[in-house]
Amino acid sequence: MSEAGSRWGLRLLALALAALAWWAFSGEKREPLSEKVIEATVRYDPPDAYLLLKRVETVRVGARGPLSKIRNLTAPFVDVFINLPDEEGLHQIAIGEDQVLLPEGLELVSVEPNVIEVTMDRQVTKFVFVEPALEGEPAAGAKVLSWRAVPNRTFVEGPASRLEVLERVSTLPIDLTGHARDFSEEVAVRPPDPLISIREPRTVRVDVELAIPHLAPDEELEPPLRD
């Protein structure tokens, strides 16, 4: 084959490869378009020292694109990110296109609801008293005379509006059943609210003082019988 013929052959091959690449690339565009609605999780990015008291967990995101991509679209591939303001209180936030991330080749059709409400509060700490939670009945008719927690206070962390009215927290239950004498028990301090955490100390020692009341004179036991 002559040099000119070889050059023409290479050109034809290059043209064929380019046409094939274009056909494959444009195949997606030739697909019929379809739409799908996904229940997408809303993710929040609160500023430091702030907590979310009320939030919307999911929104319905409508997407449009080639049928093959829409068929494979599931919730993990759709992300909704909300940047929150540095301010406490109730906020209404509009969800726009820049806050919804979809796979390449898909376009956003709708978000429902497209305006959500969130409530934010400052995160603070507070020193509160610890009160043991006693339950059950002691043995032999014993009665609780006193109790004390050591240490008797702990640091808690949570929303300012809730800690403002919180004065004390309790421990996990301490069972008195079977006890007739003084005893001590190490026990964890229980958070009073899912948004409130126990910082330090998280466990305390509870000392419980018990006593068996004396029998009244008319209730004295009769002496044992003799042979």
User: pLDDT, tens digit, for every residue of 86-144?
Assistant: 899 999 999 999 999 999 999 999 999 999 999 999 999 999 999 999 999 999 888 99
Strands in 84-188 per DSSP E? 89-94, 100-101, 107-112, 115-135, 143-150, 153-159, 168-175, 183-188
Domain boundaries for CATH 2.170.120.40 within the chain: 123-211
Q: In this predicted structure, what is the pLDDT of residue 212? A: 86
Which residues of the chain does CATH 2.170.120.30 include?
Answer: 31-113
Q: What pLDDT does 163 receive? A: 96
Q: What's the topology of domain 31-113?
A: RNA Polymerase Alpha Subunit; Chain A, domain 2 (2.170.120)
- Is the model more confident about 29 or about 117? 117
pLDDT at 18: 61
pLDDT at residue 11, as a whole number: 61
CB 182 within 8 A of CB 167: no
The answer to whether domain 123-211 has CATH 2.170.120.40 is yes
pTM for this model (two decimals): 0.64
* pLDDT tens profile 173-189: 999 999 999 999 999 99
Instruction: Supply 169's token pair.
Output: 């927290």
Confidence of residue 213 (pLDDT cuts 50, 70, 90): confident
Beta strand 143-150 with 168-175 is unpaired
Q: What is the mean pLDDT of residues 14-35?
A: 64
Judge whether 84 and 54 are in contact, CB under 8 Å: no
> DSSP assignment, residue 165?
T
